[in-house]
């Protein structure tokens, strides 16, 4: 257990030094828990939480007169320096952190201990993605492409997933021959199929042409790929490396394809540098950001010398080349050395460019892409997490996130998610809080039984989706392909990423944050208005019918009795639903574990039938939230009038029309000072502002039970928040421009139910009333 590593759990009177001006400091207490390093300063009302897994290095700097400084560098580019009074304490902190941040065994990793604070069930998210379903969505032509069973036992290639898509015309012999000819057995397999042009994107490792010269099977295999796309007479083989690297590899027995041996192929080098150069480049960049008394000149020179933006540009250019070829109907085979770094990057970005589907947050499928990445990519995670070879650590993923951000800044209207989403994903790649990024390949992940033992990041993200929605997203504009400019003037330094924790350098009034909050506010108000107008209609018809019948006084008792009977009915109904719900839940969990996604969706269809009382969180198909009790309310059709004055009053006051702004609010209720760097959220119920950590509760707006219109057959939609939801989440309501959507994207959309963040107080109030 980790406890033994903690030499001193608490050190008082520690100074947190300001990075810009070390003479400024914050005094507070440092706590070391099994998972976090926490610095609390009651005077300045500040808290700092650092996950041990984020710590990339701890240094004990030379003693000074004011104490013993300990410097901590994190993988999310946070750098903090603590000044500890006693050298012994500093030594303790240093050794504890050094051990805690590099667990010696996999079992010590945070994800195996992590339990979700909210009621999110553990299997959520593990089933969001299935390779076969994704290929179906892409509309892979079954005549030309076929799943290959050779890797079912990971015999063909241990670093590939079980399911491989290969051309139908390739025989087993050819496939095996090709695998033998490729480094690490990574033969060309399908990553993306562009249905409009039937061009395919394939990824592989470099051929072993240096030793074996040529392989007829591999040549035939490439030819099969070419023939699978009848529209084009040739295909591109893209080697993402600089030519010199490829030639160097050739001397080592590997190398690249000779155009002469592969008829009808065009061979291209793309000149993206290797992981070692990238790593050096990033560390130079980080150094530049950390310079203290620097001028703009030094900063810009450092930026230039790091070469980081140039590398980003190279990655983008290669990706654009791939995307454009696919759009022109030419299949592309991509490789670098082993086909897991640069190849994954460029393939993934090419797909973001070409397919709008990958730019949506919708039910989290966007991240399939990244999953594809991880499925086939060795990310050296294990080396990184546990103390391993630092040579293999590389900022490939950081670069991927950065490149995606570059596209996002150039096409803000095309992305459903915002930069915060990218940052959060990047954080969790290193946090190890979720099992999603653990392991290097599908085989590893199965071996560790991650899906059963850990939470999935995707489940977590869907549960808090509204933070990640890009307010500038425009669902109506869906260009076929994004064509970002790679002019050096357009490749920007991402301050929000590399200097994220240098809070002083950022805009004090971030626009995107305000817009995101405003959109959430608007959605809650529009929902509220809909409900209010329903109530207005109900009351109006009640009054007019009462007036018409003239039996005003006589009417009262009947209403009361009516109430009672309907309540009883509802209760019995509730029991039934409850039972059904429990059954379904069990079934769901089972299905989730067996990861049969299609069955899961059928089941969700069933769930829909009983769901007047079921609350589903936004964006997640499987979050059958246990909050449902909060939404237990009788179905209110216009004829069924709210029965009491208090109820109306409560409904009226349940949604805040005016929200507190940052300027009006100095402290959160937990005592933390709300400075501009603290992420905040408003409670939809009372409108007050809280720091993000105090706002993890969600609820359906009162009076907004999920109701289904039973008249229009199988696909029913919630009549409550469908439109506002649609506009907020999917825009037009259509999740993808593809017509060939035969996998379960559409059903999921219909069972979404808008829940809104509320503060703990309001949450308690509403739950006690139920």
Partner 1 sequence: MEFADLIKISRIDNVRVRRAGKPCIEATVAVTGHHLIISSSDTKDSTDREMWLLHRGILSVSKETESNRSGTLLLKYKDMRVFNLDIIGQDCLTALTTSLQALSNVEEQTSSYPFFYNPGFKGLEDGWCLFRPEEEYCKLIKGAESTWRVSRVNHEFSVCATYGKLLIVPTNLTDSQILTVAKHRIGGRFPVPCYLHNVKNNSIPLVRGSYTVAGWRNGEDEKLMAGIRGSNRKGFIICIHHDKIKMAGGKSEYDTVYAQWKRVNLRLPSLSELRESLNNLSAACNDPGNDKWISKLASAHWLAHVKDVLNAACLAAQLIEKENAPVVVIEQEAADLSLILVSLAQIILNPDSRTLHGLEALIERDWIQGGYKFWTRHGSSSPDRETSPVFLLFLDAVFQIYTQFPYSFEFTDRLLVVLGDHSFSSPFGTFLSDCEKERCSYSVREQTVSLWSYLNQVEILSSMLNSLYIPNNSVIWPSVAPMSIILWTSYYLRWVQDQNNYTYERRKITEIIERNKTAKLQALRLRRELQELQDEALSLGLLCTEDTERRDSDNSVQT
Task: Kindly tell me which of 459 and 634 has the beta carbon lying closer to partner 1.
Answer: 634
Q: Which part of the chain contacts partner 1 (CB under 8 A), choosing from 3-11, 329-337, 380-388, 532-540?
A: 532-540
Alpha-helical segments (H) within 552-596: 552-594
**Structure tokens, 426:** 């990047």
Give yes or no for residue 128 binding partner 1 (CB under 8 A). no
**Structure tokens, 344:** 């994954």
Q: State whether the Cα torsion 321-468-117-575 is positive or negative.
A: negative
Q: CB of 728: closest distance to partner 1 in angstroms?
A: 11
Cα–Cα distance between 587 and 589 in angstroms, integer? 5
Q: CB of 702: closest distance to partner 1 in angstroms?
A: 14
Per CB under 8 A, the list member of 234, 383, 501, 555 interacting with partner 1 is 555
Per CB under 8 A, the list member of 227, 392, 444, 526 interacting with partner 1 is 526
Taking residue 403's Cβ as centre, other Cβ atoms within 10 Å add up to: 24
- Please report, as residue ranges, which positions from 194 to 233 form the binding site for partner 1 (by CB under 8 A): none
Per CB under 8 A, the list member of 152, 171, 216, 661 interacting with partner 1 is 661
- Please report, as residue ranges, which positions from 268 to 297 form the binding site for partner 1 (by CB under 8 A): 289, 294-297
Taking residue 33's Cβ as centre, other Cβ atoms within 10 Å add up to: 15
Q: CB of 301: closest distance to partner 1 in angstroms?
A: 6
Q: CB of 336: closest distance to partner 1 in angstroms?
A: 22
Residue pair 243/269 in contact (Cβ under 8 Å)? The answer is yes
Task: Kindly tell me which of 182 and 521 has the beta carbon lying closer to partner 1.
Answer: 521
Q: CB of 127: closest distance to partner 1 in angstroms?
A: 34
Q: Is 253 left (phi over 0), alpha (psi -120 to 50) or beta?
A: left
Q: CB of 523: closest distance to partner 1 in angstroms?
A: 8
- Please report, as residue ranges, which positions from 15 to 44 form the binding site for partner 1 (by CB under 8 A): 20
Place of tokens 């604070």: 117
Distance of CA 97 to the CA centre of its chain: 28
Per CB under 8 A, the list member of 149, 172, 264, 522 interacting with partner 1 is 522
Task: Kindly tell me which of 446 and 526 has the beta carbon lying closer to partner 1.
Answer: 526
- Please report, as residue ranges, which positions from 429 to 458 form the binding site for partner 1 (by CB under 8 A): none
Q: CB of 236: closest distance to partner 1 in angstroms?
A: 24
Give yes or no for residue 98 binding partner 1 (CB under 8 A). no
Q: How many residues does the chain have?
A: 770
Helix H or strand E encompassing 8? none
Give yes or no for residue 300 binding partner 1 (CB under 8 A). yes
- Please report, as residue ranges, which positions from 662 to 701 form the binding site for partner 1 (by CB under 8 A): 663
Give yes or no for residue 321 binding partner 1 (CB under 8 A). no
- Which segments within 280-337 are labelled E, that is strand? 332-335
Closest CA to 38 of 46, 48, 26, 28: 48
Task: Kindly tell me which of 474 and 578 has the beta carbon lying closer to partner 1.
Answer: 474
Burial string for 156-191 (b: 16+ CB within 10 Å, else e) reads bbbbbbbbbbbbbbbeeebbbbbbebbbbbbbbbbb
Give yes or no for residue 402 binding partner 1 (CB under 8 A). no
Q: State whether the Cα torsion 710-711-717-718 is positive or negative.
A: negative
Residue pair 261/181 in contact (Cβ under 8 Å)? The answer is no
> Backbone phi, then psi, for 216, in 5-degree steps?
-65, -30
Q: CB of 535: closest distance to partner 1 in angstroms?
A: 6
- Please report, as residue ranges, which positions from 342 to 401 form the binding site for partner 1 (by CB under 8 A): none
Q: CB of 723: closest distance to partner 1 in angstroms?
A: 13
Give yes or no for residue 410 binding partner 1 (CB under 8 A). yes
Give yes or no for residue 575 binding partner 1 (CB under 8 A). no
Per CB under 8 A, the list member of 173, 536, 582, 670 interacting with partner 1 is 536
Give yes or no for residue 116 binding partner 1 (CB under 8 A). no
Per CB under 8 A, the list member of 86, 88, 449, 547 interacting with partner 1 is 547
> Backbone phi, then psi, for 263, in 5-degree steps?
-65, 150
Cα–Cα distance between 514 and 698 in angstroms, integer? 20
Per CB under 8 A, the list member of 646, 666, 764, 769 interacting with partner 1 is 646
Q: Given 336, 432, 691, 762, which residue is catalytic?
A: 336
Helix H or strand E encompassing 176? helix 172-181
Give yes or no for residue 304 binding partner 1 (CB under 8 A). yes
**Structure tokens, 452:** 């059963």
Give yes or no for residue 107 binding partner 1 (CB under 8 A). no
Q: Which part of the chain contacts partner 1 (CB under 8 A), choosing from 148-156, 203-211, 216-224, 405-413?
A: 405-413
Closest CA to 386 of 96, 72, 106: 106
Task: Kindly tell me which of 44 and 474 has the beta carbon lying closer to partner 1.
Answer: 474
Q: Which part of the chain contacts partner 1 (CB under 8 A), choosing from 443-451, 523-531, 622-630, 667-675?
A: 523-531
Cα–Cα distance between 154 and 646 in angstroms, integer? 64
Taking residue 667's Cβ as centre, other Cβ atoms within 10 Å add up to: 12
Per CB under 8 A, the list member of 652, 688, 747, 761 interacting with partner 1 is 652
**Structure tokens, 99:** 């051990």
Place of tokens 């999603």: 436
- Which segments within 174-296 are labelled E, that is strand? 189-194, 199-204, 235-239, 265-269
Task: Kindly tell me which of 567 and 742 has the beta carbon lying closer to partner 1.
Answer: 567
- Please report, as residue ranges, which positions from 615 to 634 form the binding site for partner 1 (by CB under 8 A): none
- Please report, as residue ranges, which positions from 480 to 519 form the binding site for partner 1 (by CB under 8 A): 485, 487-490, 493, 495, 499, 502, 504-509, 511, 514-515, 518-519
Q: Please confirm, yes or no, whether 441 is among the known catalytic residues.
A: no
Task: Kindly tell me which of 328 and 518 has the beta carbon lying closer to partner 1.
Answer: 518
Per CB under 8 A, the list member of 264, 637, 644, 709 interacting with partner 1 is 644
Residue pair 674/668 in contact (Cβ under 8 Å)? The answer is yes
Cα–Cα distance between 41 and 589 in angstroms, integer? 43
Per CB under 8 A, the list member of 301, 675, 742, 770 interacting with partner 1 is 301
Residue 356 vs residues 170, 266, 364, 402, 713: alpha-carbon distances, Å: 31, 28, 13, 19, 30
Place of tokens 């018809």: 541
Q: Give the angle subtended at the CA of 56 by the CAs of 51 and 62, to the nearest 5°.
A: 105
Give yes or no for residue 479 binding partner 1 (CB under 8 A). no
Residue pair 217/176 in contact (Cβ under 8 Å)? The answer is yes
Task: Kindly tell me which of 116 and 546 has the beta carbon lying closer to partner 1.
Answer: 546
Closest CA to 437 of 423, 419, 452, 455: 455
Give yes or no for residue 562 binding partner 1 (CB under 8 A). no
Q: CB of 408: closest distance to partner 1 in angstroms?
A: 11
Q: CB of 725: closest distance to partner 1 in angstroms?
A: 15
Number of residues binding to partner 1, judged by CB under 8 A: 78
**Structure tokens, 95:** 């050794």
Q: CB of 302: closest distance to partner 1 in angstroms?
A: 9
Give yes or no for residue 171 binding partner 1 (CB under 8 A). no
Task: Kindly tell me which of 564 and 715 has the beta carbon lying closer to partner 1.
Answer: 564
Q: Which part of the chain contacts partner 1 (CB under 8 A), choosing from 377-385, 435-443, 467-475, 688-696?
A: 467-475
Q: CB of 673: closest distance to partner 1 in angstroms?
A: 16
Per CB under 8 A, the list member of 40, 106, 150, 303 interacting with partner 1 is 303
Burial string for 100-139 (b: 16+ CB within 10 Å, else e) reads bbbbeebebbbbeebebeeebbbbbbbbbbbbebbbbbbb
Active site residues: 336
């Amino acid at each position: 257990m980790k406890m033994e590593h903690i030499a001193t759990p608490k050190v008082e009177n520690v100074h947190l030094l300001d990075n810009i001006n070390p003479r400024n400091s914050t005094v507070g207490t440092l706590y070391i828990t099994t998972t976090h390093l926490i610095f609390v300063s009651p005077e300045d009302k500040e808290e700092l939480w650092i996950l041990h897994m984020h710590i990339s290095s701890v240094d004990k700097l030379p003693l000074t007169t004011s104490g013993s400084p300990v410097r901590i560098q994190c993988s999310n580019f946070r750098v903090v320096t603590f000044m500890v009074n006693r050298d012994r304490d500093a030594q303790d902190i240093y050794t504890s952190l050094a051990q805690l941040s590099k667990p010696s065994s996999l079992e010590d990793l945070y994800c195996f201990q992590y339990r979700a604070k909210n009621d999110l069930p553990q299997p959520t998210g593990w089933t969001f993605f299935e390779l076969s379903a994704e290929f179906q969505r892409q509309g892979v032509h079954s005549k030309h492409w076929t799943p290959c069973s050779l890797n079912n036992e990971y015999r063909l290639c241990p670093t590939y997933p079980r399911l491989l898509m290969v051309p139908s015309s390739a025989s087993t012999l050819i496939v095996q021959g090709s695998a033998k000819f490729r480094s690490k057995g990574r033969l060309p397999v399908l990553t993306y199929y562009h249905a409009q042009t039937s061009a395919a994107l394939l990824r592989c490792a470099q051929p072993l042409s240096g030793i074996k010269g040529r392989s007829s099977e591999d040549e035939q295999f490439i030819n099969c790929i070419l023939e699978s796309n009848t529209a084009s007479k040739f295909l591109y083989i893209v080697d993402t490396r600089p030519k010199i690297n490829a030639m160097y590899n050739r001397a080592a027995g590997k190398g690249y394809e000779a155009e002469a041996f592969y008829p009808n192929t065009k061979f291209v080098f793309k000149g993206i540098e290797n992981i070692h150069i990238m790593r050096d480049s990033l560390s130079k960049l980080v150094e530049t950001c950390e310079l203290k008394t620097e001028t703009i000149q030094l900063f810009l020179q450092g930026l230039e010398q790091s070469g980081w933006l140039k590398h980003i540009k190279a990655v983008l250019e290669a990706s654009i080349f791939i995307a454009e070829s696919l759009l022109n109907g030419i299949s592309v085979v991509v490789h670098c050395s082993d086909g897991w770094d640069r190849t994954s990057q460029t393939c993934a970005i090419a797909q973001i460019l070409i397919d709008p589907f990958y730019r949506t947050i919708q039910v989290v499928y966007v991240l399939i892409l990244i999953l594809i990445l991880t499925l086939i990519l060795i990310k050296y995670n294990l080396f990184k997490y546990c103390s391993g070879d630092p040579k293999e650590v590389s900022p490939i993923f950081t670069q991927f996130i950065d490149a995606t951000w570059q596209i996002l800044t150039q096409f803000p209207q095309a992305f459903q998610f915002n930069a915060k989403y990218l940052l959060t994903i990047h954080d969790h790649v290193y946090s190890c809080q979720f099992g999603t990024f653990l392991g290097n390949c599908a085989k590893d992940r199965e071996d560790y039984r991650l899906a059963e033992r850990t939470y999935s990041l995707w489940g977590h993200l869907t549960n808090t989706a509204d933070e990640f929605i890009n307010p500038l997203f425009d669902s109506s504009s869906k260009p076929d392909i994004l064509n970002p400019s790679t002019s050096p003037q357009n490749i920007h330094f991402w301050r929000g990423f590399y200097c994220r924790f240098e809070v002083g350098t950022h805009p004090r009034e971030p626009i995107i944050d305000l817009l995101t909050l405003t959109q959430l506010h608007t959605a809650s108000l529009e929902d509220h208005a809909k409900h209010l107008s329903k109530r207005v209609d109900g009351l109006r018809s009640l009054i007019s019918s009462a007036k018409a019948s003239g039996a005003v006084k006589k009417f009262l008792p009947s209403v009361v009795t009516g109430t009672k009977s309907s309540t009883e009915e509802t209760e019995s109904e509730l029991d039934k639903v409850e039972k059904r719900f429990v059954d379904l839940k069990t079934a769901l969990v089972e299905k989730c574990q067996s990861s049969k996604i299609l069955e899961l969706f059928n089941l969700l269809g069933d769930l829909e039938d009983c769901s007047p009382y079921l609350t589903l969180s936004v964006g997640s198909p499987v979050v059958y939230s246990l909050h449902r009790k909060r939404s237990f309310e009788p179905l209110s059709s216009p004829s069924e009038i709210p029965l009491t004055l208090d109820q109306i009053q409560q409904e009226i006051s349940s949604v805040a029309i005016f929200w507190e702004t940052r300027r009006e609010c100095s402290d959160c209720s937990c005592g933390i000072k709300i400075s501009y760097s603290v992420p905040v959220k408003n409670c939809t119920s009372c409108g007050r502002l809280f720091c993000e950590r105090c706002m993890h509760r969600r609820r359906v707006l009162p009076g907004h039970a999920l109701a289904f219109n039973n008249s229009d057959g199988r696909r029913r939609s919630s009549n409550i928040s469908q439109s506002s939801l649609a506009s907020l989440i999917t825009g037009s309501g259509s999740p993808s421009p593809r017509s060939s959507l035969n996998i379960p994207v559409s059903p999921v959309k219909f069972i979404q139910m808008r829940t809104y963040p509320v503060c703990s107080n309001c949450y308690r109030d509403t739950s006690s009333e139920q």
